[in-house]
Structure 1
């Protein structure tokens, strides 16, 4: 991952901006370019592989990513107003891996997702684009689109497992810092 500035603070589970659908982008201007720059900086500062705009408090349908596909080739980009397309159920293969989220720091949980995904959207200038993903990139495309729909990965977990993850997150968050 590329080094960058610190970016903007990442919002955590419980913040209302993470739990409601984001608005479509209608203006493709310098403000959008600045937002995307800040999103990459925030993602890299947090050692992430993807970040949705609402994770830094901006309720717009934009996400950035920099992660490998199943061949370990890193792919980097931005998708504005994404529409996720998954394989038909009969052609779908699920991959069950531990998933984490910068908005639920320190926690991971096993979650099955389709091993292939496609996202249609536009770039920061409004030019149409399509991103096809396999492996971690497919997971990232699904994860970030979920964010823009107001859903965290923990919302896809069975209720008991979701509660365990939230409890562990809260315990870690509330633990006083230890002195060295």
Structure 2
């Protein structure tokens, strides 16, 4: 082999070794999907300090949901960790994942009738538009929810940190038996 080919092969081998070392040494970076803020990519300080454990997993580690009956019907309440949010419904941009609520009963999954509230301004701008999000404590009125023991509500959401790091979306079970 000529010296140019040898140098290229050496450089590719070195990059592959660096990727394997980074993958094994920094598991918290494995599941990150999106960086809205390129400054976060270039930061020397860890941006995942709010995450618990060794990795940050999917959105279900940052978001939970509960169901309660209220005078006007029923509602799903989002419980979102500090410094995190989820996209509003409708999402601010076509390619973002909106928060949705569905019910599974008898093996079938269908959306529930939900009155998704307007999102709040996140302070994050993408493609010239400020993103609308839901924060901790957001209440989503729902109706036409079956009252059967086998009916299970699920929230589909994508959690993002206020610095723009987004996790893979997750189907989050809604706590409380709907009997």
Q: TM-score, normalised by structure 1?
A: 0.29
Structure with greater proportional strand content: 2
Q: Which has the higher contact order (CA 8 A, sep 6+)?
A: 2
In our comparison, the structure showing a higher alpha carbon Rg is 2
Q: Name the TM-score, length of structure 2 as normaliser.
A: 0.29
Question: More helix by proportion, 1 or 2?
Answer: 1
